[in-house]
Structure 1
Amino acid sequence: MAAATLEEIKRSLRWFADRTAAEISPLYSHLAGHAADDDEIAGLLTATDSTAADATLLLAAVQRVLQSEPFHELTNYYPSLGGTYGPDAGTWSLFRTFVLERAERVRELIATRVTQTNEVRRAALLYPAVALAAKQAGKPIGLLDVGTSGGLLLGMDTYAYRYQTQQAGQLAAGPARSTVGLHCALALAPDATLPTIPKRLSTAAKIGLDSRPVDLTDEEQYAWLEACIWPDQPERLRLFGAAAAAQRKSPPDLVTGDAVADLASVAARIPAEVPLVVLTANVLWLFTDERRREFLAALDALAQTRPLWWVSQEGYRAAMELVLPNRTDLLPGERKPTFGTLGLVRWTDAGRQAIALARTAWHGERMEWLAS
């Protein structure tokens, strides 16, 4: 895969600053907006290929370097590192100087790492869809998380959930005494009704597949995932720590492999009589269009061998457009620039049955349930 051009990188940084981070991360919106106008800083992303050359990778690499210098003045702007300052007139110049003085270290991280935000709050988005698949299956399910990173989403059956609704107050699900409690605002689109969210999800097996699975007992790998969390969102960092601590008590089976070539062999580790739910969460944006079609073809082939569902929380163009074309209502717009789509695909004798269940915020904090 070829490297992105500088102009492509700068457009991506501008999009991230103005559309993705603007409403949810003042610091990253500020930094990415300035980086979009700076050839030297933006140019660091040419160290990776075009699919990975994203603002989040640059910013994660910088935060990882900053983690090793906790007394640097720049940490004042990073709540994740104890800072209390908001972005101001001096933030960019301080950031730029810090990065350029450590450009080789930043470039090396960009060249050798990928953004692996193991966002545990996405479990709150996925849970209603997985529960619906389990209801359709009528028995305990197997979970196969593709692009699993550290595997935290595989713990979704052990987390406690609180869905805040206007229509029914707070809906609770999951084990009440879980050490990981996730909150999600649940709104309704016009003509939609609240989903049925069961108290319990029964799983028979779990496995994760990733080209670079993360061992959360390894200090360096753990630190990289921390660096991938946006620094002015400390709640995400707290939940990551809680979920990682819970996982250490019962580590999941994580397999190194390719999302397409190894999908069938990894799925075969779960008995064929167990209904299988494949998960993807903010993973397929890293794939080319051809690669996404290959992934769908691999799912089609897998469905010939066993009961299969696919639950995705991705941007519409990265996933559901493959099976639900021409849904312009699911594309980001000027007023809702950062939503993804929660989708469910079921394979039956009649072929694929696909439905878009909700519009979602990227990090699990809210979703809007759609009319069926």
Structure 2
Amino acid sequence: MGLGLDEIKRRLRVFSEQEAAGTSPLYEHLTAKAAEDDEIAGLLTDAKNGEARGTLLMATAHRLIQADPIHPLSRYYPSLGGFDGVDSETWPLFREFLLSRADKARAIIASRYTQTNEVRRAALLYPAVSIAAKEAGGKIALLEVGCSAGLLLGLDKFNYRYQCDGGEQLTAGPAKTAVGLHCALDLEPGAVAPKLLKKLVINGRAGLDRAPVDVHDEEELAWLEACVWADQPDRIRLLRTAAAAQVKYSPGLVTGDAVDDLAATAASLPEDLPLVVMTSHVLTYLGERRQDFLSELKKLASERPLWWVSDEGYQVALEHVLPGRDDLAGNTVLGLVRWHNGETQARALARTAPHGQRMTWLAA
């Protein structure tokens, strides 16, 4: 059953005030207005499985304007070459555009999930995967849960530059590659910068997702692009570049459930390799099944060496295995967990920014 209109409008308001504010002037403005408009907010009543979110409404509008780029609304969409800032005409144009395509909008909303595959998050995950690979002795198999198009499964193919306090720069990954990522790296007092592997050796990779995206399908890739915020065109260019590069390694993507199908997906990877399981902004969608997911990880860890690398909100992920860290409450945290001889070894490595632009390394 879909959500009620009042709850949808509340979600839109929260998205505008807490997620888009200071990051996306366009989406902040549009979702604030949508939160006060029964007809626009009402389009989300057809969303499935509680997916009625500001991101889904904005992605739907983005996909429709992609398909009609000569509409006057496009001048507010940098992703389509627009360069006008928000003004008094933005909302009326958006409202008219979406309501005149209400049937198409409802069809997208009823059939799609928001799919984000933020390539820059690889820069956040790489240091933790490096530590796991070193502890595992070198070669690993990599499994990403909630993989979307699986672009982060290519993190060993990207080049990384971390700009540290005081001007020092850490580098990792192949020098000649199409995808280069930059990330600011701050150090908490008492923290020591991570030692990065220059080269990761991944000899098996797989992704598990409820609706994996085939980037070789132009319509699917267009939806993935539509889920990127329209006033952040650099993210779309990076997405395209990483999607083109994926042709060289083509990870196996499995359609399935994060809990029920985890063991079978893990079994598809070479059993003689230590396994690194990776999640990034996924556990919030698991709701009450988060503990079941952790139980499945622990069960897998009794069968083969396993590390869990997570970039998640502290309360939805790491708190379950590393409780009592009030200093991390409200933060997205890079975590590394290993279950060894029945013991849980959990580490909080860094506070992270949502789109991979910055991380603060924590003292041990």
Which range, TM-score by smaller chain? over 0.9
Report the Cα distance in structure 2 between the residues aligned to 1:264 and 1:166, rounded to whole angstroms: 41
Report the Cα distance in structure 1 between the residues aligned to 2:241 and 2:38, rounded to whole angstroms: 39
SS for the counterpart of 1:46 is helix
- Determine whether 1:321 maps to 2:322: no
SS for the counterpart of 1:106 is helix
Q: Which residue of 1 aligns with 2:360?
A: 368
| TM-score normalized by the length of structure 2 | 0.97
| 1:106-142 Cα shifts (integer Å, max 9, x gaps) | 1111111111111111100000011011111112111
1:233-272 matched pairs, under 5 angstroms: 233-272=232-271
On the 8 A contact 1:210/1:258 being kept in 2, the answer is yes
Q: Which amino acid aligns with 1:247?
A: Q
SS for the counterpart of 1:175 is coil
Q: Which residue of 2 aligns with 1:295?
A: 293
Q: Which residue of 2 aligns with 1:104?
A: 103
Q: Which amino acid aligns with 1:11?
A: R
Q: Which residue of 2 aligns with 1:161?
A: 160
CA shift, 1:264, in A, is: 0.5
1:1-372 matched pairs, under 5 angstroms: 2-49=1-48, 51-288=50-287, 290-332=288-330, 339-372=331-364
State the identity as a percent. 58
Report the Cα distance in structure 1 between the residues aligned to 2:304 and 2:286, rounded to whole angstroms: 25
SS for the counterpart of 2:23 is coil
On the 8 A contact 2:48/2:111 being kept in 1, the answer is no
Q: Which amino acid aligns with 2:359?
A: M
Report the Cα distance in structure 2 between the residues aligned to 1:100 and 1:151, rounded to whole angstroms: 34
On the 8 A contact 1:51/1:286 being kept in 2, the answer is no
On the 8 A contact 2:158/2:180 being kept in 1, the answer is yes
Report the Cα distance in structure 2 between the residues aligned to 1:329 and 1:51, rounded to whole angstroms: 30
| 1:4-25 Cα shifts (integer Å, max 9, x gaps) | 2222222221221111111211
Report the Cα distance in structure 2 between the residues aligned to 1:246 and 1:264, rounded to whole angstroms: 28
Q: Which moved more, 1:123-132 or 1:293-302?
A: 293-302
Report the Cα distance in structure 1 between the residues aligned to 2:265 and 2:172, rounded to whole angstroms: 29
Q: Which amino acid aligns with 2:327?
A: D
SS for the counterpart of 2:119 is coil
Report the Cα distance in structure 2 between the residues aligned to 1:367 and 1:231, rounded to whole angstroms: 24
| TM-score normalized by the length of structure 1 | 0.95
CA shift, 1:328, in A, is: 2.8
Report the Cα distance in structure 2 between the residues aligned to 1:167 and 1:331, rounded to whole angstroms: 28
| 1:54-100 Cα shifts (integer Å, max 9, x gaps) | 11111001101111101000100000011001111211111111111
Report the Cα distance in structure 2 between the residues aligned to 1:8 and 1:295, rounded to whole angstroms: 28
Q: CA RMSD in A?
A: 1.3
Report the Cα distance in structure 1 between the residues aligned to 2:349 and 2:50, rounded to whole angstroms: 27
CA shift, 1:168, in A, is: 5.0
**Kindly tell me: are residues 218 and 234 of structure 1, through their superposed partners in 2, closer, same or farther at Cα, counting changes over 3 Å?**
same
SS for the counterpart of 1:254 is strand
